[in-house]
């Protein structure tokens, strides 16, 4: 066993790292240009999650991982990344949010979806699935928090 | 035990033996450094042996110089020992295989620690010993049972694809609520995770990876990883308690889809195994259409109302994931047919 693995077994931290990376990709909107670079990072963060999951039997972590992966699918489901600019405020809030604020941000994203994204985006379903994945993630986090 | 491991172990043993003989006869005062340098330059990823070997050699030389400087010019030896030990522990704590800077930092601090702790003779002799050891290591890596990145890549991808196909079969069982499906799906997922951790050809991302293969292998591996990610979210959707009517409507097209995806996996594996036979395959378009029709008959056509029921949104996510999985497999097939 590597020395660092003895100290760092934080599964939630690894999942949060991957989620942050996806949000950064959406905020920077340069995935198409740097996709090898980003995919390498996604791979590394995924591996960190898989490693940390080997040390826990809690099924919630696998579910959280699945919901975060689903949040990452926007990167290959949408063709026009400039549409992401519309939700940059919400994405920024998500990036810096704590658990308490997540509900409000999801609500704000839903509003944005119904009022704007649904009309201007060529792939509205992809955004809807992103919001759904966020909701699922939030629900699972609440369950985990409440034991 | 696979052949790759045996080849690698034999190569390392032969090189090490040769390094020990050379150090015994020619570098008696610094006999420790030749085998150490040989071992360190041989721990490089597949496809970038020379590039990474050379980097490690340069780091070793730099570390020797820093270590020697500390020994010669800092008076309190205990201070150096504690300082270098702290650096070593910190780099060991942050060490990550995949992080180039951190792994080299770890190597450097380890070598400085050894330089400081071992009795000091001559920097020049140590530098000679490290150079000779590195030459032995890099030569052995290139000449003795050289690793073939393309063959190794194909072998590992086939292992992954087989595990993916088995995983999809258990996801199907879970969606259709067959007995023991949940535990089987979890078991299969753990197998996929283990293969991703231990057998995935992650070295395609390394800087210095074989220039001719780099772009194609990276593209292929990204797509293969995407399949794994899609299967994991399909697993979560299959776990959802769908309405009985929805499950009934999905049953036939989903069974057909899994069957056809199995065929696509088989064709890709066959091409990767360099088999001459041509297998029949179906592009799953009809299965997807059948599932979309099932969706349209149960769900209101307005996307606006999707958030009324989690059943519907999960159904939509399932179809979207199945579509993406099909697209990725077809892209892989296209890439293979074009090469």
Predicted ipTM of the assembly: 0.91
Q: Say yes or no: A44 contacts chain B, CB-CB below 8 A.
A: yes
Cα(first)–Cα(last) distance of chain A, in Å? Answer: 30
At B100, the pLDDT band (50, 70, 90 cuts) reads low
**Which residues lie below 8 Å from residue B95, measured CB to CB, with a gap of 6+?**
A2, A3, A4, B102, B103, B106
Percent of chain B with pLDDT over 70: 92
Query: How remote is the C-alpha of B274 from its chain's centroid?
Result: 22
Q: So what's the pLDDT on residue B48?
A: 82
pTM: 0.85
Supply angle C-alpha A147, A106, B246, rounded to 5: 75
**Once rounded to an integer, what is the mean pLDDT over residues B241-268?**
89
pLDDT tens-digit map of B29-56: 677 788 888 988 888 888 888 888 898 8
The pLDDT of residue A50: 92
CB of A8 closer than 8 Å to CB of B98: no
pLDDT of A57 over the 70 cut: yes
Mutation site, A2, A4, A110, A131, interface B, largest B CB count within 10 A: A4
Supply angle C-alpha B181, A12, A28, rounded to 5: 105
DSSP string, B221-285: HHHHHHHHHHHHHHHHHHHS---HHHHHHHHHHHHHHHHHHHHHHHHHHHHHTT----------H
Which structure tokens are listed for A42? 């996604």
Spell out a b/e string for B25-54, using b for 16 or more CB atoms within 10 Å of the CB, else e. eebeebbebbbbbbebbbebbbbbbebbbe
Beta-carbon separation of B313 and A128 below 8 A: yes
Q: What pLDDT sits at residue A5?
A: 42
Q: Distance between the two ends of chain B, CA-based, in angstroms? A: 32
| Res. A9: pLDDT tops 80 | no
**Of A22-31, A125-134, B169-178, B287-296, where does mean pLDDT reach its minimum?**
B287-296
Residue in B with minimal Cα distance to A64? B236
Does the structure show a pLDDT above 70 at B304? no
**Inter-chain touch B303–A128, beta carbons under 8 Å:** yes
Q: Determine the average pLDDT of the residues in A5-30.
A: 83
pLDDT at B3 over 80: no
Q: In the structure, what pLDDT confidence band is assigned to residue B101 with cuts at 50, 70 and 90?
A: confident
A19/B118: higher pLDDT: A19
A72 CB within 8 Å of a chain B CB: yes
Q: Do A128 and B196 touch (CB under 8 A)?
A: no
Q: Token pair of B262, please? A: 């199995």
Closest CA to B235 of A132, A57, A70, A39: A70
Residue B305: pLDDT over 60: no
Collect contacts of A115-120 with beta carbons under 8 A, ≥24 apart.
A116/A86, A117/A83, A117/A86, A117/A87, A118/B303, A118/B304, A120/A83, A120/A86
pLDDT at A37 over 80: yes
Average pLDDT, chain B: 85
Query: How close, in Å, is residue A145 to chain B by CA atoms?
Result: 20
The predicted structure's pLDDT at residue A2: 41
Query: How confident is residue B235, by pLDDT bands cut at 50, 70 and 90?
Result: very high
List, in sequence order, the alpha helices (H) in chain A: 3-7, 11-28, 35-53, 59-71, 74-77, 88-96, 99-112, 118-120, 124-145
CB proximity B305 to A under 8 Å? no
Q: Does A40 touch chain B (CB under 8 A)?
A: yes
Structure tokens at A63: 């579910």
Per-residue pLDDT at B66 exceeds 90: no
Rounded percentage of chain A residues whose pLDDT exceeds 70: 94
Give pLDDT, residue B186: 93
């Amino acid at each position: 066993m590597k020395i660092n693995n003895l100290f760092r077994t934080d599964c939630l931290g690894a999942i949060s790292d991957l989620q942050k990376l996806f949000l950064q990709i959406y905020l920077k909107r340069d995935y198409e240009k740097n996709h090898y670079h980003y995919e390498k990072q996604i791979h590394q963060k995924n591996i960190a999650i898989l490693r940390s999951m080997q040390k826990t039997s809690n099924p919630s972590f696998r579910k959280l991982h699945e919901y975060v992966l689903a949040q990452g699918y926007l990167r290959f489901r949408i063709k026009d990344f400039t549409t992401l600019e519309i939700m940059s405020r919400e994405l920024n809030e998500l990036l810096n949010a704590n658990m308490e604020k997540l509900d409000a941000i999801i609500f704000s994203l839903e509003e944005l979806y119904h009022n704007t994204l649904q009309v201007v985006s060529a792939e509205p379903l992809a955004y809807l699935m992103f919001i759904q994945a966020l909701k699922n993630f939030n629900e699972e986090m609440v369950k985990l928090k409440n034991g | 035990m696979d052949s790759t491991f045996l080849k690698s172990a034999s190569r390392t043993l032969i090189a090490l033996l040769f390094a020990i003989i050379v150090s015994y006869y020619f570098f008696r005062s610094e006999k420790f450094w030749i085998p150490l340098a040989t071992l360190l330059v041989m721990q490089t990823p597949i496809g970038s042996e020379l590039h990474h070997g050379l980097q490690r050699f340069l780091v070793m030389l730099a570390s020797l110089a820093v270590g020697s400087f500390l020994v010669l010019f800092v008076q309190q030896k205990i201070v150096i020992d504690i300082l270098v030990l702290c650096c070593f522990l910190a780099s060991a704590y942050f060490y990550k295989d995949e992080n180039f800077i951190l792994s080299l930092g770890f190597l450097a601090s380890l070598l400085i620690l050894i330089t400081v702790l071992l009795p000091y003779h001559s920097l020049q002799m140590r530098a000679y010993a490290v150079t000779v050891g590195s030459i032995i290591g890099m030569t052995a890596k290139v000449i003795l049972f050289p690793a073939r990145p393309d063959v190794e890549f194909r072998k590992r991808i086939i292992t992954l694809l087989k595990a993916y196909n088995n995983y999809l079969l258990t996801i199907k069982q879970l969606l259709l609520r067959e007995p023991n499906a949940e535990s089987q799906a979890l078991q299969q997922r753990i197998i996929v995770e283990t293969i991703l951790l231990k057998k995935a050809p992650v070295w395609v991302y390394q800087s210095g990876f074989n220039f001719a293969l780099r772009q194609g292998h990276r593209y292929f591996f990204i797509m293969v990883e995407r399949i794994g990610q899609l299967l994991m979210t399909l697993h979560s959707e299959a776990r959802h308690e769908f309405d009985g009517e929805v499950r009934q409507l999905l049953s036939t097209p989903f069974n057909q889809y899994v069957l056809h995806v199995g065929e696509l996996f088989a064709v890709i594996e066959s091409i990767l195994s360099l088999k001459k036979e041509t297998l029949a395959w179906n592009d799953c378009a009809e299965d997807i259409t059948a599932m979309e029709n099932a969706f349209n008959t149960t769900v209101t056509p307005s996307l606006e109302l999707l958030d009324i029921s989690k059943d519907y949104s999960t159904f939509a996510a399932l179809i979207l994931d199945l579509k993406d999985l099909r697209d990725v497999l077809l892209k892989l097939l296209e890439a293979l047919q074009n090469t």
